Amino acid sequence: MDWLIRFKWLINFERHSKFIINKTWVLLTFFFFLCYTAILDMVCETFLKRNVSAILFLSNTELYGRNIAAAQYFLQLTNYLRIPVVAWNADNSGLEKRSAGNNLVIQLAPSASHQANAMLSLLKRYSWKQFSIVTSTVAGYREFIQAVTEAAYKFESQSSYKFKILGTVLVNNNASNLGSLLGTEARILLLYSTRDEARSILKTAGQMGLTGDKYVWIVTQSVIGSTTESPPEFPVGMLGVHFETTDNQLTKSISTALKVFVNGVEGFHRESNASTLLNPKVSCEDSASTSSRWAQGEQLFKYLQNVRIEVDPGRPSLEFDADGTRSSVELKIVNLQPSNSGGSGRELLWRQIGHWQSWKKDGLDIQDIVWPGHSHVPPEDGPDKFHLKVAFLEEPPFISIVPPDPVSGRCPVSHGVPCHVGNHVPLNGEADPGPFPRNVTQCCSGFCIDLLEKFSDDLGFTYELIRVDDPKFGTHVNGRWNGLMGALANRRVDMVMTSLTVNAEREHVADFTIPFMETGIAILVAKRTGIISPTAFLEPFDTASWLLVGVVAIQVAALAIFLFEWLSPSGYNMQLSAPTNQRFSLFRTYWLVWAILFQASVNIDCPKGFTSRFISNVWATFAVVFLAIYTANLAAFMITREEFYDLSGVEDPRLISPKSHEPPFRFGTVSNTHTEATILKHYKEMHYHMRNYNLNEIRAGIDAVKRGELDAFLYDGAVLDYLVAQDEECRLLTVGSWVSCHTQLAFERPKCYRHPFTIQSWDISIPFPDQYAMTGYGVAFPRGSKYVTPFNEKLLEYIENGDVDRLRRFWLTGVCKPYKEERQFSEPLSTEQFLSAFLLLLSGIGLAFLLLGLEHIYFHSIRPHLTSPTTGACCSLISINMGKSLTFRDAVFETQDRLRSHRCRDAICRLHLRRLNLQLDITRTRVRQLEKQLNSGSSGSSNQYIGYLTNFFLLDIISPVGNDKLQSVGEDRIVIECPSTMRQHSQLLGEIPEMETVL
């Protein structure tokens, strides 16, 4: 029966915070007899007109179906009106769970989430990690599935105990789809349905053999009900979670609901306005005095939700979560056992064997359980161990064969597991006794063995390792498969575990898992030590940079320095002749530029102009930057080069047309492998050439490359990378582009596969040439094998959690690098990378024009105002050149240079000029002598001296420099020889007028 108790509280706070309950209405009704219109009329006419402020909704029925629908509709109405509800429903797991912010229901009964957590605690107790969920279409089945999923994630995040949900079965009317559980690993089944539905489900499950001693069914409260008796269809050993739904428990829940309501109302009035009355005034009809929603309903609900009540001593306080569910819940763990102690009777009863308390970390307390089949030992969560016959073929590092311990005959832990070799395999240099059959047990280890061991532990199977008698991976020859693929096609083995490549042809006769490692066809070549390149000193810069420095930068710098020196007032001052003490020219400018560029310790002539010196400093800065970059990159090129055949891939011209080279390019692979089959399919001419160089095993191919018998060797890239890394001499490299697919997560489709990912099959594409023959290694099974799916699921898990990557790092590593190191081949610096130095040089030239203008302003406008002996001395402390420009001596040199620039440029002009200078000198001397005669009165000696000077100057005028002999000047005049010292004296006297002019 349903109890619906309505309370209306009119609260008047008096002194000491006491409140009075004015009126209480109680309505008893059978909810499942009401239709939706009757429920709506009851809410509008009965509840709202009495101005209720809260509703206590309690029910101990578990009828589900129509009763649940009616209760759900009623709670939706109260939630819309924003009237809080304190509920206790035995069937609350069937009610729709609303979000925390849109729910005004306080639920006292255990929820579906509590039951799910109790079930998973039971699974953890017995180390069951995988299970399946079985539900009917009863109300709340989606909420139950979600609750179980969330509880499993909670266990994993809090205790690192990972559950695996194998699947969910939504049972139809006749429960025929339970057959989907057959053939799976499901042994633990969680059932959510009504009691009647459970009878039909378990009856069908029994007929299918799903209720035997290997299966455990764990059910919810909705299956158990309020009675301890069980239908005959329920198998012995079932487990369930249960809570009391009797009338006595309902009475206790009424008392608890009243306490919650009273404490909530008291908190509401204590913390809010004491004069506020809980008077909703809500009506189904809009009017001026009423509203359609209660504005204070959410505020009252928060106080109801935040109550904390001591209910039972020794137990946690009564509290609620954000969604209104109870925080601390205790559930009973029950077991379906025979009614009598002997177990021979057919009547089965639910007996409590423990309890689960949500507030404890390990809240499960379990006593003795009768397991399915009257067993006292819990069953496993998976099928019984099965045995597999596993075929392999050795190929390091995936599988290596080593002999067992010679004393014990066993395989040490580090040497793997025993494996059966039908034909004796020579090991460690042992001589081959011949291919006669002989039972030999060896030890196998490697990447695939570790992965197989992990599969064995997680899937629970035993295995026997057998090496195939036909030591080939398998190709289709003459209509038949050989090697490993032949064993699979003929179903002689259950599984192949080795570095077996997945391709489209092999998928026609075998089922493969997803690849556990990607691979492709790679090319192996040998390194040969070379010499340093004769042009290595030029390689730090590219050709354009060297041309820019040699042809442009040097020329521009030299011409700029000399141009500014020619334009400078302190330099050439735009004259064609060099000034006094000037030893600077265009060729000497080039000498200066080269000396600065290479920082040579040689004698150089510096320019005199300030602007040209500035440009020289700019060029020196450029030279520092240039040399720093050059020397920094030179070491990368002055190293010994390793020469090898740098093949671009399988479409390299040396592989496509090997005979077009002299001598012909030699390359091969291992016969009857995926590599040979792929090349035969796509490059028949290449295969025709390489078949003469093919070998039977990969070790022989590597040795042939190292000895120079082969120029290249083609094979699986993953294997070649490992063997190159393990090479003692580090003389091998893998070249060509094959690893084009980056590592993907397990649930992503690798880019090199054409079709979408499916767990059953991988369709392989072979793109050319950049992604040549990209594929992977997979575990192979005979066509239609039932083991493909569980192996795929486990392999996905290993890839996702990094187990496969850890195995790869352990087994596929070595000292040598399998690929060429790009750092040994540094690229020359281009012009763009060196452009800043040229910008520096151009900026300096631009700035020099400004300095040239300032220099001219100084010499023509500023210097005349600063010329004095004291000023020159002071300026010399700052700049010697500026100080010299203000001194008398520098002015004399400047005047001499200016006079020289105006002298005659031919002999006749100079002759007339000297005659005039002679006449002027004679006249001046005569004037001084006359002055002396006037003063002394004697003139004899003076006349003699004047005559001598006259002859002397005539001789100097008509005689070439350096000729002391007598020469003719004219027809009527002869001049005698004169000493050279006298002529030098006359030159000094000739400069006297110029000095006088300066003074």
Question: Nearest-5° angle of CA 247, CA 251, CA 257?
Answer: 135
Give Rg (Cα) of the chain: 55
Assigned token pair, 641: 């080069």
675 labeled part of a ligand binding site: yes
H-helix or E-strand spanning residue 975: strand 973-975
Q: How many of the other CB atoms lie within 10 Å of CB of 177? A: 13
Q: Give the three-class secondary structure for 358.
A: coil
Q: What is the sign of the dihedral through the CA atoms of 226, 228, 232 and 238?
A: positive
Distance CA 224, CA 237 (A): 14
Distance CA 722, CA 715 (A): 12
286 labeled part of a ligand binding site: no
Are the C-beta atoms of residues 216 and 372 closer than 8 Å to each other?
A: yes
Which ranges of 480-569 does DSSP label H, i.e. alpha helix? 483-489, 504-507, 543-547, 554-567
Distance CA 975, CA 993 (A): 25
Four-CA torsion 434, 435, 438, 439, nearest 10 degrees = 120
Class of residue 626 by CB neighbours under 10 A (exposed 0-12, middle 13-18, buried 19+): buried
Closest CA to 591 of 567, 561, 566, 614: 561
Distance CA 783, CA 609 (A): 94
Could you write out the DSSP letters of every residue in 170-190?
Answer: E--TT-GGGGGGTTSS--EEE
Q: Give the three-class secondary structure for 311.
A: coil
37 labeled part of a ligand binding site: no
Distance CA 219, CA 240 (A): 5
Distance CA 834, CA 832 (A): 5
Which ranges of 748-887 does DSSP label H, i.e. alpha helix? 788-801, 803-811, 835-857, 863-866, 869-878, 880-885
Assigned token pair, 951: 């002859």
Are the C-beta atoms of residues 166 and 134 closer than 8 Å to each other?
A: no
Q: Give the three-class secondary structure for 29.
A: coil
Which residues are bridge partners to 477 per DSSP? 480
Q: What is the sign of the dihedral through the CA atoms of 511, 515, 521 and 527?
A: negative
Taking the CA of residue 798 as centre, how many other CA atoms within 13 Å lie in the half-sphere pointing to its CB? 26
Distance CA 482, CA 676 (A): 14
Which residues are bridge partners to 189 per DSSP? 132, 217
Which ranges of 287-410 does DSSP label H, i.e. alpha helix? 297-305
Bridge-based pairing of strands 188-192 and 130-135 is parallel
Omega before 769 cis (within 30°)? yes
Distance CA 523, CA 735 (A): 5
Which ranges of 82-134 does DSSP label H, i.e. alpha helix? 112-125
Distance CA 237, CA 201 (A): 16
Closest CA to 541 of 838, 844, 819, 820: 838
Distance CA 309, CA 259 (A): 8
Q: How many of the other CB atoms lie within 10 Å of CB of 127? A: 10
Distance CA 651, CA 714 (A): 12
501 labeled part of a ligand binding site: yes
How much of the chain is helix, strand and coil, in % rounded to 5?
45, 15, 40
Class of residue 784 by CB neighbours under 10 A (exposed 0-12, middle 13-18, buried 19+): exposed
**Sequence ranges of the binding site for L-glutamate:** 501, 506, 675, 716
Q: Pick out the residues of the known binding site.
A: 501, 506, 675, 716
